[in-house]
Amino acid sequence: MEKLICANFEEFRLHKGNNLPDGDWITVTQEMINAFADATLDFQWIHIDVEKAKQHSPFKTPIAHGFMSISLVSKMLGDAIEIQSAKMGVNYGLNKVRFPHPVPVNSKVRLVGSIADIEDYGDTGLKITWQCTVEIQGVDKPACVAEFISLMFE
């Protein structure tokens, strides 16, 4: 993937409304799903019990937590864009989050997104609204669709 690199906020503002480069595919492994379950204390069998999922799940395999899909967006955005003058960024919130399709273990996911809005935030910051779709390789419906809002500071 070719990363969008901007020297500073001024240059970044020129990209408002533009699409981001399509992300690289990330394989969602059972180890990642188990680690997410450990971190969130969400141990529902559909995610972590491989044998039970094979027998009783309509998907016949474990699926990733829906919130794991949205949690990957921060990493995927960082892979897609760099603002060299930014000293730090933080997650601010989410709008209109949906999980249209489950992510079966060993699926590959990637970010397809755009820069929906850029607003000033205080004296040295920006509030950015990203339109994010987490695609699943070979599946028509996405894993996640959301407006993801972050703050960046110079």
Q: What is the DSSP string of 4-52?
A: EEESSHHHHHTTTTPBPPPPPPEE--HHHHHHHHHHHT---HHHH-HHH
pLDDT band at 54 (very low <50, low <70, confident <90, very high): very high
Q: Which residue has the tokens 């205080």?
A: 122
Give the pLDDT confidence score for residue 91 in this predicted structure.
95
82-127 pLDDT, tens digit each: 999 999 999 999 999 999 999 999 999 999 999 999 999 999 999 9
What is the C-alpha to C-alpha distance for residues 127 and 89, in angstroms, rounded to an integer? 10
What is the C-alpha to C-alpha distance for residues 129 and 136, in angstroms, rounded to an integer? 22
What is the C-alpha to C-alpha distance for residues 108 and 91, in angstroms, rounded to an integer? 24
- CATH code where residue 77 lies: 3.10.129.10
What is the C-alpha to C-alpha distance for residues 126 and 137, in angstroms, rounded to an integer? 32
Which residue range(s) make up the domain with 115? Answer: 4-153
Overall number of domains in the chain: 1
pLDDT band at 39 (very low <50, low <70, confident <90, very high): very high
Give the pLDDT confidence score for residue 83 in this predicted structure.
97
What is the C-alpha to C-alpha distance for residues 34 and 6, in angstroms, rounded to an integer? 36
* Burial profile 20-42: b = 16 or more Cβ within 10 angstroms, e = fewer: beebeebebeeeebeebbeeeee
Give the pLDDT confidence score for residue 34 in this predicted structure.
98
Tallying the residues shown for the chain, one arrives at: 154
Show the beta-strand stretches assigned E in 80-154: 81-83, 88-98, 108-121, 125-136, 144-153
